[in-house]
Amino acid sequence: MKQSQLFTKTRKDAPKDEVAKNAQLLIRAGYIHKEMAGVYALMPLGLRVMNKIATIIREEMDSIGGKELQMTALQDKKPWEVSGRWNDEIVDNWFKTALKNGTDIGLGFTHEEPLTNLMKEYIRSFRDLPVYIYQLQTKFRNEARAKSGVMRTREFLMKDLYSFTKDVASHEAFYEKAKQAYVNIFERVGLGDRTYITFASGGSFSKYSHEFQTVTDAGEDNIYVDEKKKIAVNEEVNNPEVLKELGIKKEDLVQKKAVEVGNIFSLGTRYSDAFDLKYIDSEGKALPVIMGSYGIGLQRLMGTIAEVMSDENGLVWPKNISPFQIHLIALLDKEGKEGKVGVAGEKLYKTLTEKGIEVLYDDRDVRPGEKFADSDLIGIPLRVVISEKTMAEGIVETKDRKTGEVRKIAEKELFVL
């Protein structure tokens, strides 16, 4: 992509009402646009990051047998009345609206109900199980506060997976696989070393659920971490009985601020009972399906990465989810784009792109200082400068965004990065 054609511009300041560092940086660098409090649009750079995150999530979900579908945002209230969750006393963050004829509808904040309802059409016998379904779909939540930038929004993309299994043993086996897939996801997006599997309360079916909590001061949660065991407990379950059961000593726990980037939950028969979702086993007996749900908020993940991987000059994307791998900067000579550097830059940009390397090419005719500042703010892992000076030396100059390390290398070394 050529920067001269990228319509988003970097800006010195974020909107005055934006208090979260993640949103300030993402807005200033042109990744997102603030529509209103708690609602953000994705600009081309932001969409590229989200697509990278989505690809990693899809790969991990597919690898444990997930089948992708897409449910609707508009929700019929009937299934929600079946579970009791249409009630505003029980769910306090619904966005509800109505059809022209007065029929109430809602904007989905999660999808257990419609999906359990839908699976009644497809699950009949033990041969139809297990089923693992996931989607990357927009959720709407009328959150009371929206002060954490893209980490808590009123409209966001969630990956939600639902498991349907025939008994507790097969549920538990899948639950462990899903847990490992989550570990892989957070590792791959660069948050592995600060994300803790955190024991949380499990609802009526199982003793615990598990949250994936990433340590950051921008988080809204408090967790209690056992560094040696690399696990944590959340506030709900931080009590002597639970610690004893988990083999954790109170004195080994350190309190940390963290954000819940994902969670996995055993639902048992809560929804299958409500919807009478049963299957016929090999002996002809009707049994309730055992369910689980597994969520990750994509914008929250992007925002968390922006919080923890940034410095005073801007964003510092990990390679796997950076919008581009190389930020190529041409320091144009007096002849501008038609000059020697402009022509060589264009050629290098084309060559790299043809080799499948994702390049943001700063072909703009602006001051070097502005280019460098923008490059730091946008945060692509490797900056590559081509100028009259580097051309005279027959090299390009690279700078690692994270370490600051500067190197002079031959152009062709870039092809094998």
Smallest separation, CB 169 to ligand ATP (Å): 25
| Nearer residue to ligand ATP within complex by CB, 83 or 153 | 153
| Nearer residue to ligand ATP within complex by CB, 268 or 345 | 268
Beta-carbon count within 10 A of 297 CB:
24
For residue 130, cis peptide bond before it (omega within 30 degrees of 0):
yes
- The answer to whether residue 110 forms part of the interface with ligand ATP (CB under 6 A) is yes
Q: Is 189:305 a contact under the CB 8 Å cutoff?
A: yes
Options 120-128, 162-170, 261-269, 371-379: segment touching ligand ATP (CB under 6 A): 261-269
Contacting residue, 60, 113, 260, 376, with ligand ATP by CB under 6 A: 260
Residue type at 282? S
Q: What angle do CA 42, 5, 30 make, to 5 degrees?
A: 30
**How many residues in total does the chain contain?**
417
Taking the C-alpha atoms of residue 312 and residue 403, their distance in angstroms, rounded to an integer, is 14
Contacting residue, 215, 296, 357, 414, with ligand ATP by CB under 6 A: 296
Residue nearest to ligand ATP as judged by C-beta position: 297
Q: What residue spans of 29-89 are helical by DSSP H?
A: 44-63, 77-83
| Nearer residue to ligand ATP within complex by CB, 28 or 85 | 85
- The answer to whether residue 48 forms part of the interface with ligand ATP (CB under 6 A) is no
- The answer to whether residue 158 forms part of the interface with ligand ATP (CB under 6 A) is yes
| Nearer residue to ligand ATP within complex by CB, 34 or 152 | 152
The neighbouring-strand residues paired with 96 are 106
- Phi and psi at 103, nearest 5°, equal -65, 130
Sheet holding 396-400, edge to edge: 359-362, 326-330, 382-386, 396-400, 406-409
Options 148-156, 162-170, 222-230, 327-335: segment touching ligand ATP (CB under 6 A): 148-156
Contacting residue, 213, 263, 375, 387, with ligand ATP by CB under 6 A: 263
* Contacting residues toward ligand ATP, per CB under 6 A: 110, 141, 143, 152-153, 156, 158, 260-263, 295-297, 299-300
